[in-house]
Chains A and B, each alone.
Chain A
């Protein structure tokens, strides 16, 4: 189907929603661009579904506005919004066949029979369900149900498609495949996708931009790359991927090429480390320091050449976890602090990984690979 639809931008401004005294959404503001694949990412109960329901029209905020293509949609009932939803549980109509499920929106609008039939077949073909249209939803597999839900949500040609954890009911392998399909579908039809998930790898792999939420608040909005490499808060750093995160105090901050070479005192590591940062931080300021496990190098012998901006630690491997393409090591440093290291196995290994349980190892990383998460001084 060569069809391209028109996507709209969605603006959520100062939206709050409380259940009793519990704030499910606390002053949320998000601007979603036309045609974007935008993800709402956060742990269970952080208010993702609540926000989606407000955009779809099943719930209304206590205050704030929601604009679709610049127009306030809050006064409109769900059936009058150019927005369609793929529900977490799919919500297929059990009394209707796959064909009739997809035809449902068109029958409501009394689309003439011939046009209806052509369009339903078209959309069933789009989601590769041509051979299953006479089945009832109960006879379909999880992945097929999900496709029916997508075809049904798209047939009204919405400007925005809302997807509430559409893959969470499926097994990991299928999830990967369907995620790629979803991404293709998005590229193909070009409307705005708002995708809710609590799975950070899902969000990172397909989104144009991500909003990370926690406890009803938006913590950071950015591209997957920005969110992974430059987390705005401790929570984001911990929630997205794996990381080593330590509280630290700024000891020194000197200009170095086009950024600043910062020396941090990290009590947990029992020493000072070096890290580069774009900001000139005040000495004595409390910050969080983070370094991703895959940025650490692990060796069985002491590295011979250690540059000025390399941080080097000695430790014992407490727990090697081999998972084929990589190994993860929990390394206990000399002062007892445990640090996570991930080593990629890019080359063929005859004898398995050369680092084993209880081995003495050296862990190092360059100042450029660490990152300072700013913390408001307490």
Chain B
């Protein structure tokens, strides 16, 4: 009937509207991805590049325990930094949403982006190095006699990564918290919830989508990070990103670099899908409270 026709037309229009986006994704994401997949199955050229010969060498090389250690470390650093970032960003987003000076706070969050990220990382070197701001200040105050090892280690990497990506967590959190109906907190208090209970039982579940976006926006770039561990990390801070760069520029093993890139893409994709299905199953659970949810939440 009438609505049927409209629905059909709507669907056709949907294709028209999404065409530019589709073309963009095809040329700048799908095509490069296919090239990477292809390269990872080819033989390494002598001075970089590839030879057109199918082989699984790259994947065999990847199983090297040294590489595995870097992979696990990258996973761990990304997870830890993300958790800390979100934990810090939540109260920030909350305070911003409740503030009367939202525009000012938003500007303060965004202003650092006006400076090149490399320069900001170098600024951290100036702050953390053995003759840096923190050490000199502490020495001047007589708190310490000798410089603390604040830089070129895992701690420095995590600190700077959090600094770099916290705006990407604050912004989506701020937007969802701003839309949150704060009267719900009053309702919770009214019904007997303490202040923390009202936050955890009512606000957090209702800003889930913002938290998920924030996690995706921080975890994925941190998982692929390479400048930060390169500039403020030590020998033990190497991450997958650094391996890829080394394989392209020093070792000239393009298939291996491609294989590692693929790992980053796959891990990120799994992360996103897991996050999305867990919200979907949450929604399904709410529709049917009696049903028991699969504990795996959708990953296989």
The chain A residue with its CB closest to the CB of B197 is: A108
A91 & B289 in contact (Cβ 8 Å cutoff):
no
Q: Is the CB of B192 within 8 A of A97?
A: no
Query: Interface size of A by Cβ–Cβ distance < 8 Å?
Result: 29
Known: A105-B192, A108-B193, A156-B192. A58 touches B186 (CB 8 A): yes
Q: Mark B227-238, 1 if CB is under 8 A from A, else 0.
A: 000000000000
Interface centre among A57, A94, A153 (most CB of B within 10 A): A94
Contact A134:B192 (CB < 8 A) given known A78-B186, A93-B187: no
CB distance from A223 to the nearest CB of B (A): 29
B183 located at the interface, meaning its Cβ lies under 8 Å from any Cβ of chain A in the complex: yes
Interface contact B187-A85, CB-CB below 8 Å:
yes
Flag if A97 contacts B184 (CB, 8 Å): no
Q: A95-B205, A108-B193 are in contact. Are A134 and B289 (CB under 8 A)?
A: yes
In the bound complex, what is the Cα–Cα distance between A95 and B289 (angstroms)? 12
Judged by a CB distance under 8 angstroms, whether A305 is at the interface is no
Flag if A94 contacts B191 (CB, 8 Å).
no
How long is the Cα–Cα vector from A89 to B182 in the complex, in angstroms?
12
Report the minimum CB–CB distance from A51 to chain B (whole Å).
Answer: 15
Shortest distance from the beta carbon of B197 to any chain A beta carbon, whole Å: 6
Q: Is the CB of B183 within 8 A of A136?
A: no
**Dominant secondary structure of chain A at its interface with chain B:** loop
Size of B's binding interface in residues, CB under 8 A: 23
Report the Cα distance A89→B288, complex, angstroms: 26
Check if B289 sits within 8 Å of A108, measured CB to CB. no
A94, A95, A100, A136, most chain B CB atoms within 10 A: A95
Does A214 sit at the interface, judged by CB under 8 A? no
Q: Which among A77, A99, A156 is the interface contact of B191 at CB below 8 angstroms?
A: A156
Q: Chain B residue with minimal CB distance to A108?
A: B192
Whether B286 lies near A136 (C-beta < 8 A) is: yes
Per-position contact with B for A231-268: 1 when CB-CB < 8 Å, else 0?
Answer: 00000000000000000000000000000000000000
Assess whether B184 is in contact with A96, with CB atoms less than 8 Å apart: no
CA distance A104 to B184 in the complex (A): 12
Across the two chains, which residue of chain A brings its CB closest to B183?
A: A91
Closest to B181 in A: A91
Q: Are B191 and A87 in contact (CB under 8 A)?
A: no
Asked if A109 is at the interface (CB within 8 A of a chain B CB), the reply is yes
Name A's B-contacting residues (CB within 8 A).
56-58, 77-79, 83-85, 87, 89, 91-97, 99-100, 104-105, 108-109, 134, 136, 152-153, 156
- 11 A-B contact pairs sorted by A residue (CB < 8 Å): A79-B191, A83-B190, A85-B186, A85-B190, A87-B186, A94-B184, A95-B205, A96-B286, A100-B289, A108-B191, A156-B192
Give the A-binding residues of B (Cβ under 8 A): 181, 183-184, 186-194, 197, 201-202, 205-206, 208, 286-290
A-B contacts besides A93-B202, A109-B192, 7 pairs, CB < 8 Å: A58-B189, A79-B189, A85-B186, A87-B183, A104-B191, A105-B191, A108-B193
